[in-house]
Structure 1
């Protein structure tokens, strides 16, 4: 059966089951089964153990490193920024990733650049996290004259 011949709900259920079987995902999976159903979650239905942990928030921040004058932010400059701005707000830890990306700015020009990504997970009870994340974004845009810092939020099952 092809995806084009399935209903949207059936296709979603098949895709979720396939992702679970492959160990993909990591976030909370919305079930395609109506909530009134007594059917177990897709992972358990596939005969897999549900992972341990509790639900936490996850935020990823994407920082471009090209400066308006054409230069590029150095690793040392980014480390100094994380030491001064990120670490005091999330002293329990975060992950820094380096990659390459592209985006179209407000002027319509596509820019390709080295990027830094900060990933932080925190409990729902952390009432200061949203403000602190916005402070990080604002500080970076101001310090390095950036138009934007992309933010994505999700819910993850976390265990230590």
Structure 2
């Protein structure tokens, strides 16, 4: 009776050396975008003023097969389309845009940067989307870049 149990134990020990071990699967490096976990956003507390959103929009002035957007056209857009939506004020800066096309050509473009200090809510974002869409349609632009940052604001 002892022999079959001893034989089974010997066979089990012998077979454990035959089992192939595979290294644990490694995550790809760098991780794919879908696998990247975004860190939690830090909570911003203002020492002075109120927490608001600072939005900067970048408007290219060059156009395909047309003259660049003129100073008068730009000012009309700001006066008639932007200011009525953002009555509390805004700032406009001259900017120089630059990027590299896929064929290796550097493209440079005069631009305008428009900065808004606003509440961070859907109603304000809707107004920003409207002015971006108006500009793209009116001046045949592919895009208007939007950059948002929280800001502590005091007047």
Which TM class, normalised by the smaller chain length? 0.5 to 0.7
1:71 equivalent in alignment to 2:80:
no
Name which of 49, 55, 73 aligns with 2:51.
Answer: 55
Question: Which whole-Å CA distance do the structure 2 matches of 1:86 and 1:120 have between them?
Answer: 10
SS state of the match for residue 142, structure 1?
Answer: helix
Question: Which whole-Å CA distance do the structure 2 matches of 1:159 and 1:112 have between them?
Answer: 36
Query: Which residue pairs with 2:88 in the alignment?
Result: 92
Name which of 137, 140, 155 aligns with 1:145.
Answer: 140
Question: Which whole-Å CA distance do the structure 2 matches of 1:134 and 1:87 have between them?
Answer: 14
Question: Which whole-Å CA distance do the structure 2 matches of 1:68 and 1:107 have between them?
Answer: 18
Question: Which whole-Å CA distance do the structure 2 matches of 1:85 and 1:106 have between them?
Answer: 34
Aligned residue pairs, count: 114
- TM-aligned CA distance change 1:141 to 1:110, over 3 Å: farther
**What is the RMSD of the two structures over their aligned residues, measured on CA atoms?**
2.6
- TM-aligned CA distance change 1:65 to 1:54, over 3 Å: same
What's the TM-score, normalizing by structure 2?
Answer: 0.65
Question: Which whole-Å CA distance do the structure 2 matches of 1:151 and 1:116 have between them?
Answer: 12
What's the TM-score, normalizing by structure 1?
Answer: 0.63
Query: Which residue pairs with 1:133 in the alignment?
Result: 128
Query: Which residue pairs with 1:117 in the alignment?
Result: 113
- Per-residue deviation, 1:122: 1.0
* Structure 1 unpaired stretches of 5+: 1-28, 32-40, 42-49
| Bigger CA radius of gyration | 2
